[in-house]
Structure 1
């Protein structure tokens, strides 16, 4: 009670913190007349003066008021946009490494220019991270005008850039890029064989746009670079055919955990079917020999029972494309791991693509935590504030709006079933459409969008559908969703990237209605002025009708997604309305809600078509959402806990690689490896404190032959009276060293150093790849240790450490063996050839796969791979010239212009 009383008088902690920042804003405003009086040249000279003062010892905090005032004035002169005071507050929060929660339409893109410029003064680079390539290009070009005016360099990282272009972009003062490109460049850099080929420089400061989408939603799955493994498509098909014989009584389903397990009777039935198909070894399904079959059975069960078409995935151009549960977009190119995607492909009867083996991976959590300073901005972050602090140590600051919000958020309406709910939605939409009020209808899945669309069509309601099946028209549909009487059904409105402007969007109307006109011509300008007037008039009519009406057809698992949907209405002081329609059939209520209470309350007391509107029930739903959010957070936290174990090992391996590449010579490392290998072999056969008659002499001979190709007189040595293991180590090591010295003399010293480096790096990469596969397998089964009253994460840490130790020993022995058996000649050592990697890189705006095989390694290394064999048509001369000069870059996944029918990367674009 007292807390609420104090909050009413003094404001919340967030309010007090924001008030404290207004003192700095006052200093910035006080500098405005002085800065405005500067000429363009004087304003441009500010950057050099700031850098001199920074090098002299002045801190960025001390420079902040002047730097912010400089950026604001530069923005006015270059863009015609002046930062509001609340935008200055947002900029200060970002500079302090915090998350600025600013409502949709408050100008976050412009806010980022303030801390970006300030933190670029030291010259160590600032990364501005966006959710897709389009925004990276747009913002680098748009806001880059301000930075360039002030004398700073701006780079942008997008797919299909060469290493030289990437390196130049990373060495700019300010770099715009997507989270995927940054992460993959980090992984690729740590797979290269020459320090000069690496493109990134040490991490400094990053601002993450749509921080909740990138650091929470996208962080559910790691970035993975992988290579193909053996084809097992027939096994998937066989197991899928068997699983189709199972009936609901044969398995138990847990929708919350998205898992399905066989019952005892189901297991016996499965064993009989597998035995008939010749896939079972012995009679017991869970024998060790059947581990792989059990895995395939479990994935096939999950594919057939849990995963549903048009909800979890859809078939697009003969491929299974995942649907993102948060954005509703088709993630073309992204694949479920661990054989699940192949199981779904077998279920749907499409081509089964082989599984991939992980070569390198990292989670976004561990990638972004490498930045010494990290900040972010979004419209919805407060509900996830605990997670942002726990994982990233970032506080969320809610920035007030420049103009008070006028949107009215009404209580939810509850119905007995979906039919009653759809009928009520249809009635509401009809009423609003007749008034001329635009309606945005939010759904949680493609399936619900399609069902509602059919309902609207039957009722004669003209509407547009926006979901993964129609993502090509996405921007055009969203841009016109604010016109008079427009009705738009959207699968999800999170991060759509295009504003809903009341009355319509000039740019998109010109593109749709007058595509034949050229921008900048008198005809274009005349038509644009005419349409601009129409939009202004239509906007007044929409405002009079109440602004945009956001209608949610059910609650999402996360309140943040609901808030993103609501945030589309009432932007920048516009009027608006939002309301959610719910029923007992909704997934959230059915799976997570207090079913007994709702069932009793609604089934007994409600007539058909009747609704309940109660703040108390809305609060109960919000409580259910909080429980789901907490559960999802626990899942993400567990992902981070497990990846932290791998991350420690990853740092060791990557630092070791860097040390090898930087070293002038690695002879000492190789000598130490040889010494430790000999010690290990002798110690294995001749344990310390043992007698010679207890030694395993045959094993010692065998191992020395295997590793060194040596056949020393071990029997004679053992017969000596004073012989001990240390003496054996010295003699074997002397022979092994003499053997290597003899080979070393065959090559020039600088050439032999390169040979040693190459062997070291290749061995390191090979064993690290195998180690990642082992860790993946361990993680799949370590949860079973809980049955033995052991904590799985502790068991994972212990086992992973032991496996890492074994891997280091295997690397030492592998390098020693390779050098011992190597046959040298006078030709230079061959460059290591990297495999044809597969990278997962999805454009969140369109769902397109922007991955190019050229990204897999460096352009320098990949250019040395053998060209594609086989006939291909001659490339047209004009296209060849354009490609060679860089005037017309061709997407790696686009059809080849030569007309072969193959993708460019498999034809004339083969590397």
Structure 2
């Protein structure tokens, strides 16, 4: 009560923040007349003047007003667009490192130019992040006209560019690109062996477009770079021989849940068997250093006890081929992930194909937290404000609309069954189309959009060929004749360029557009259609002249007439076919209507069989409504239902946030270690010589090896001299009379340590003298970097395996997260010790051939990022980790499509292509991307 009263008296925190910008807006507006009088050259010269002021010590805030005024004037001259006052507020919010929530149609793309220009003046580079390659290219070309006019350089990062092109783009003042490309470039840079090979030049400031989609929705799956793993056939075969020695008392089998695990007796038996085969690295099977071994053991157990030959898989031509559990068909080329397929190959005694290994990975949360300053913009962020504040330390500021919103948001209609709901939706669509009102129909999944499309086809509507924008012809003809078009378009994520055109024309009178997710479409739905896009498509290739000018004028006149008719019909009608589990997604859909003060309406149709309604107790409601006599086809409509549904959505949002937060806690452990490794790696690369580090490593190795074999305060006869001698040979490559030294009277561990270190230093000095200091300096750095990379990759795999099993610690009333932190720290310490040993052992043996060795090459790599909604791998091919791979087989094992290297593909034989990434060049040799060529037919 008191809070509401205070809000009325003093305004909300958001209102107070908006008021604080008023003096700056007045100052910017006061400069407008002065700048209008400048020539283009004089306006452009202001950029260099601003840079000089900043170099002289002024802050970016000191030049904000004149810089914003300059951008506004540049936009007026180049694009014919003038920033509204509310857009100036948005620019200031972005500059301050916050999220600007601006409704759809308020011009977010133009708003970004203000903060981008101002921050680019510092010369550290500004990254603008978009959700797909099309938007990155489009925005860079469109807004780049303003930046170039004002004397700044603009680059674009898209899939398929080589390192030289990427380096050039990152060197620009402003760089546009997708979240995936920025993340992968960061990971690849930290696998390079020379600063000159790196492409990124730092992380100063980034503006994330559709910030909620990228930092919340896509944050559920990490970016992964994978490569082939070293051959581990022997380990798979050794583990496979152990499993048949187990009896039913050694494991718990749950066939219903398709799960199997070792019992207590089984654990003891396995430990005995592993010791016999000399596979156990310590006494306890569940020690952290045995995490990978436990993982292989579990996969072998699943292969033997859950998977049956000729039911779950067959062996054909020496290969294990999966059988689809639903269709019974063979699925050649697909493989179980996480080593399960290799376990099946070991079981069937066929050739074991190498599995893929994660070479590097990072979540979007941890990538974007690298930036010194981060900002974002979207139409819907308020519902996730807590998450942005807690994870990214970002405030959400709601920017007022330029004109009041006049959209009518109607109460939800709730039906008993899905069929009744769809019948009502079709009826509503037909009514809207008949009066010339454009409709946008939102669905929660691609599957449901196809279901609705089928219902529309039954009702006599014809689906527009999505790959051909000219197929909109019948819609325009119907709009001209003021009759229902009886056509509809279904949006999917395959053709971004055509998609933008379809979305842009969704405001034509009578148009019907079905879309799954309206975030990141990058194009406003303008009533009457988008004249500029129509001109671009319809007059493509037409030469300038009177004929073209006349045709342009005719299109603009027609679009204006269409707009008048759409306004008369009530504006854009948004129909939601189901409530999403997040209010934000529903708001994104609703926000497409009511652009810049236009009229519009929105309504959601629900059924008690919808996922959200079903989960929140619709059974009782169904029984109650039947008793009350609700007839078939009747709907319940009441504001209370809306409130109840929103309350249910907020519960789901809170649960999802907790899940993401928990995932991040685990990932933060690896991220802390990743930062240490990457920073140390950069230090090594930046040093002229790592000789001092190598010497320290050698000294540490000697100290460790002596400490392991000569206990403190022990008598010489208690020393493990034979073990010490063996380790000295292995690690230092020295043949020393260690056993004889130990027999000397009065010798102590300290003297033994000094003798070993002196001998090792002398041997290494001789090696340097033999090979020359310059050559050894080069060799030392390469050995150090390559050893660090190899051990870090193995460490990532071990941590992944540890994370899969650490949850069992909860059964012993121990916090799995704390256990994970503790074990991960021990593993990291072991990694450092192994690095010292590996580098020392290699350098004490290295023989240099007197020619400069070839530059070390990065391992063969494939990029992966699973779409959080569909599970499809957005990047090229392959599936190394099974994360989000298409489909899951029996037992919940993810499957990945087999990747065929481009060199092995026959352009004339599509059967040899394997899985081709949507953004790869088409294997047929056309020069087009696969999604625009043969992929368009899929």
Q: Alpha carbons of 1:212 and 1:662: their partners in 2 closer, same or farther (altered >3 Å)?
A: same
Q: Alpha carbons of 1:851 and 1:872: their partners in 2 closer, same or farther (altered >3 Å)?
A: closer
Q: Could you tell me how far apart the structure 1 residues matched to 2:651 and 2:337 are?
A: 27
Q: Could you tell me how far apart the structure 2 residues matched to 1:320 and 1:6 are?
A: 65
Contact 1:72 1:83 in 2 (8 A): yes
- Report what 2:922 is aligned to: 894
Q: Alpha carbons of 1:522 and 1:65: their partners in 2 closer, same or farther (altered >3 Å)?
A: same
Q: Could you tell me how far apart the structure 2 residues matched to 1:180 and 1:12 are?
A: 37
Moved more, 780-789 or 162-171: 162-171
Q: Of the candidates 510, 531, 547, which is equivalent to residue 506 of structure 1?
A: 531
- Report what 2:626 is aligned to: 603
Q: Alpha carbons of 1:288 and 1:152: their partners in 2 closer, same or farther (altered >3 Å)?
A: closer
Q: CA deviation at 1:827?
A: 1.7
Q: Could you tell me how far apart the structure 1 residues matched to 2:766 and 2:453 are?
A: 79
Q: Could you tell me how far apart the structure 2 residues matched to 1:159 and 1:746 are?
A: 47
Q: Could you tell me how far apart the structure 1 residues matched to 2:386 and 2:903 are?
A: 55
TM-score (norm 2): 0.79
- Report what 1:408 is aligned to: 408
Q: Does 1:488 find its partner at 2:516?
A: no
Q: Does 1:90 find its partner at 2:113?
A: no
Q: Of the candidates 575, 583, 588, which is equivalent to residue 559 of structure 1?
A: 583
Structure 2: which 5+ residue stretches go unaligned? 238-253, 267-292, 313-325, 344-351, 462-485, 879-900, 909-917, 933-938
What are the Cα deviations for residues 851-899 of structure 1, in whole angstroms up to 9, with x where unaligned?
Answer: 599xxxxxxxxxxxxx99899999xxxxxxxxxxxxxxx9753225399
Q: CA deviation at 1:435?
A: 1.2
Moved more, 163-172 or 789-798: 163-172
Q: Of the candidates 643, 652, 663, which is equivalent to residue 676 of structure 2?
A: 652
- Report what 2:212 is aligned to: 212
Contact 1:44 1:149 in 2 (8 A): yes
Q: Could you tell me how far apart the structure 2 residues matched to 1:353 and 1:719 are?
A: 52
Q: CA deviation at 1:72?
A: 0.9
- Report what 2:935 is aligned to: none
Q: CA deviation at 1:842?
A: 8.2
Counterpart mapping for 1:70-85 below 5 A: 70-85=70-85
Contact 1:181 1:841 in 2 (8 A): no
- Report what 2:787 is aligned to: 763
- Report what 2:289 is aligned to: none
Where 2:844 maps in the other structure, the secondary structure is: helix
- Report what 1:453 is aligned to: 453
What are the Cα deviations for residues 48-93 of structure 1, in whole angstroms up to 9, with x where unaligned?
Answer: 2222222332222121111111111111122211110000000111
Moved more, 397-406 or 11-20: 11-20
* RMSD (Å), alpha carbons: 3.8
Q: CA deviation at 1:107?
A: 0.6
Q: Could you tell me how far apart the structure 2 residues matched to 1:803 and 1:231 are?
A: 21
Q: Alpha carbons of 1:53 and 1:295: their partners in 2 closer, same or farther (altered >3 Å)?
A: farther
Contact 1:666 1:756 in 2 (8 A): yes
- Report what 2:647 is aligned to: 623
- Report what 1:280 is aligned to: none
Q: CA deviation at 1:739?
A: 2.0
Q: Alpha carbons of 1:134 and 1:405: their partners in 2 closer, same or farther (altered >3 Å)?
A: same
Where 1:763 maps in the other structure, the secondary structure is: helix
Contact 1:130 1:179 in 2 (8 A): yes
Where 2:128 maps in the other structure, the secondary structure is: strand
- Report what 2:882 is aligned to: none
Q: Does 1:251 find its partner at 2:275?
A: no
- Report what 2:418 is aligned to: 418
Q: CA deviation at 1:512?
A: 6.2
Moved more, 680-689 or 161-170: 161-170
Q: Alpha carbons of 1:342 and 1:513: their partners in 2 closer, same or farther (altered >3 Å)?
A: farther
What are the Cα deviations for residues 336-385 of structure 1, in whole angstroms up to 9, with x where unaligned?
Answer: 97479999xxxxxxxx9985311111111111111111111111100000
Q: Of the candidates 595, 606, 612, which is equivalent to residue 582 of structure 1?
A: 606
Where 2:771 maps in the other structure, the secondary structure is: coil
Contact 2:446 2:492 in 1 (8 A): yes
What are the Cα deviations for residues 235-271 of structure 1, in whole angstroms up to 9, with x where unaligned?
Answer: 9xxxxxxxxxxxxx9535xxxxxxx76899xxx9xxx
Structure 1: which 5+ residue stretches go unaligned? 236-248, 253-259, 269-285, 305-312, 322-334, 344-351, 854-866, 875-889, 905-911
Q: CA deviation at 1:168?
A: 2.4
Contact 2:140 2:156 in 1 (8 A): yes
- Report what 2:708 is aligned to: 684
- Report what 2:116 is aligned to: 116
Contact 1:466 1:477 in 2 (8 A): no
Q: Alpha carbons of 1:784 and 1:492: their partners in 2 closer, same or farther (altered >3 Å)?
A: same
Counterpart mapping for 1:658-807 below 5 A: 658-807=682-831
Q: Alpha carbons of 1:261 and 1:488: their partners in 2 closer, same or farther (altered >3 Å)?
A: farther
What are the Cα deviations for residues 393-423 of structure 1, in whole angstroms up to 9, with x where unaligned?
Answer: 1100000000111111111111111111112
Contact 2:492 2:515 in 1 (8 A): no
Q: Could you tell me how far apart the structure 2 residues matched to 1:189 and 1:657 are?
A: 11
Q: Could you tell me how far apart the structure 1 residues matched to 2:16 and 2:502 are?
A: 41
What are the Cα deviations for residues 783-833 of structure 1, in whole angstroms up to 9, with x where unaligned?
Answer: 111111111111111000000000110010001111112222212233222
Q: Alpha carbons of 1:439 and 1:143: their partners in 2 closer, same or farther (altered >3 Å)?
A: same
What are the Cα deviations for residues 654-685 of structure 1, in whole angstroms up to 9, with x where unaligned?
Answer: 11111111111111111111111111111111
Q: Could you tell me how far apart the structure 2 residues matched to 1:687 and 1:354 are?
A: 42
Moved more, 681-690 or 85-94: 681-690
Q: CA deviation at 1:176?
A: 1.5
Q: Could you tell me how far apart the structure 1 residues matched to 2:195 and 2:376 are?
A: 31
Q: Alpha carbons of 1:12 and 1:869: their partners in 2 closer, same or farther (altered >3 Å)?
A: closer
Q: Could you tell me how far apart the structure 2 residues matched to 1:118 and 1:341 are?
A: 54
- Report what 1:376 is aligned to: 376
Q: CA deviation at 1:500?
A: 2.0
Q: CA deviation at 1:740?
A: 1.9
- Report what 1:834 is aligned to: 858
Moved more, 766-775 or 444-453: 444-453
Contact 2:570 2:601 in 1 (8 A): yes
Q: Does 1:570 find its partner at 2:594?
A: yes
What are the Cα deviations for residues 516-561 of structure 1, in whole angstroms up to 9, with x where unaligned?
Answer: x526354443333222222211111111111111111110011110
Contact 2:388 2:394 in 1 (8 A): yes
Counterpart mapping for 1:180-579 below 5 A: 180-229=180-229, 250-251=255-256, 290-293=297-300, 338=338, 356-461=356-461, 462-468=486-492, 471=495, 474-507=499-532, 509=534, 517-518=541-542, 520-579=544-603
TM-score (norm 1): 0.82
**Equivalent pairs, count:** 803
Q: Could you tell me how far apart the structure 1 residues matched to 2:353 and 2:738 are?
A: 53
Where 1:613 maps in the other structure, the secondary structure is: coil
Q: CA deviation at 1:756?
A: 0.5
Contact 1:51 1:121 in 2 (8 A): yes
Q: Could you tell me how far apart the structure 2 residues matched to 1:148 and 1:871 are?
A: 42
Counterpart mapping for 1:12-23 below 5 A: 12-23=12-23
Q: Alpha carbons of 1:262 and 1:671: their partners in 2 closer, same or farther (altered >3 Å)?
A: closer
Q: Could you tell me how far apart the structure 2 residues matched to 1:470 and 1:464 are?
A: 17
- Report what 1:632 is aligned to: 656
Contact 2:495 2:931 in 1 (8 A): no
Q: Alpha carbons of 1:134 and 1:298: their partners in 2 closer, same or farther (altered >3 Å)?
A: farther
Q: Could you tell me how far apart the structure 2 residues matched to 1:142 and 1:829 are?
A: 47
Q: Does 1:68 find its partner at 2:68?
A: yes
Q: Could you tell me how far apart the structure 2 residues matched to 1:779 and 1:365 are?
A: 19
Q: CA deviation at 1:295?
A: 5.7
Q: CA deviation at 1:484?
A: 1.9
Q: Could you tell me how far apart the structure 2 residues matched to 1:779 and 1:698 are?
A: 38
Q: Could you tell me how far apart the structure 2 residues matched to 1:735 and 1:569 are?
A: 80
Q: CA deviation at 1:470?
A: 6.3
